[in-house]
Every structure is written in structure tokens, then in C-alpha cells.
Structure 1
Amino acid sequence: MANFGWSYPAGCRSTPYDEPAGPCDVCGQDVDSDACICPECPECGGCGDSRCYVPGKCGLVRSPEQLQARADAEAAWKAEADAERLAFELDPPETW
């Protein structure tokens, strides 16, 4: 087992910084796989930060491609949640 430092608990195999970033706040695409289509903010340098799109902040405006990508991502998330719910209903925890 690798030693990551004295302050990590026993059995810790990675740092908290190694966790996946998750979906983009704006377009909903995976940030780690370069699927995010959001531009870098000219003001703060962030990418995919929904705060940059708030009027009066950095001045970015969502593009039609970002809106469509977000809608597609939300539809996929809903379909995944529905499939999980259906699987749970067909095989409830009592029968596991």
C-alpha cells in the first residue's frame, strides 16, 4: 500500500483531489472526458461554471448547443433514474 501522508486515514488509497469532477454545471457533459463544450470564461478563467452565466457576473451567455446538450443530459439522467426505479420495483430489497 502506498503512503500518501501522515494525515490520511488507514486504508486511504487516493487523495480527495483524485475524485472525478462529474458533469458540467452548464452543459451537463462529462468534464473529465473533454465532452464539455463550454468555453473558458474570459473574466475568471473557469470553464463550465454556472456562476459565470449569471447576469452581472462574468457576462457569458449560454449557447443553443449548451442548452441542447444540457437537455440531452437531463433526459439521459431521467432515463437512468427511471430504469433504476423500475429495476428496484421488479426486484425489491426483500428478495436480494
Structure 2
Amino acid sequence: IRILSNLMGNLALLALQVQGPGIPVSPLFPLGPFFPGAPFFPGLPFKPLGPRGPALPIAPAFPFGPGLPGFPVLPCGPRRQITLTVCPF
């Protein structure tokens, strides 16, 4: 079981290195005062170049903490950059 777990972890890490960092998503039911990040979805197949953008805070609608951490800018290259707009509902 340990060998299989290590193999799956290595394959997931390799997939993230090939496809890019991905988009972090918060779960629906947090266990603490903050909204922790869920596992990464596979990123777009572009070269991950360029810095990430600022997060979008969404605080008033969620009583469990200060708000969602927001979606960062997808680093898709120096000339192509995709931003995400978040609707809380």
C-alpha cells in the first residue's frame, strides 16, 4: 500500500509539473476558522511564467471565517494572462 501511495503521489506531482500549477479551490464545509485550500485541479497546458495576481476576498457572505482566499491569476505566459472573476453565489 505504501509503494502504491508513493507511486500515485509521484504521478500527481509529475502531472502538475507538466500541466502547470492549477487553480486552488476552497471546499464547501471548512473545519476551522479559515477556508483551507482543496487539492489542486490540473492546470492549463501552458508554460507557467509570470507572477500570480492578488486574491479576491469574499468575507461578508461567510460567517465561518474572514472569507475565501480567492482565485489567483493563472500564470500562462508573459503575453497571455487569464484572470478569473468570482461570484460567491
TM-score, shorter chain, exceeding 0.5: no
Bigger helix fraction? 1
Structure with more contact order per residue of length (Cα contacts < 8 Å, sep ≥ 6): 2
With normalisation by structure 1, the TM-score equals 0.26
Give the TM-score normalised by the residue count of structure 2. 0.27
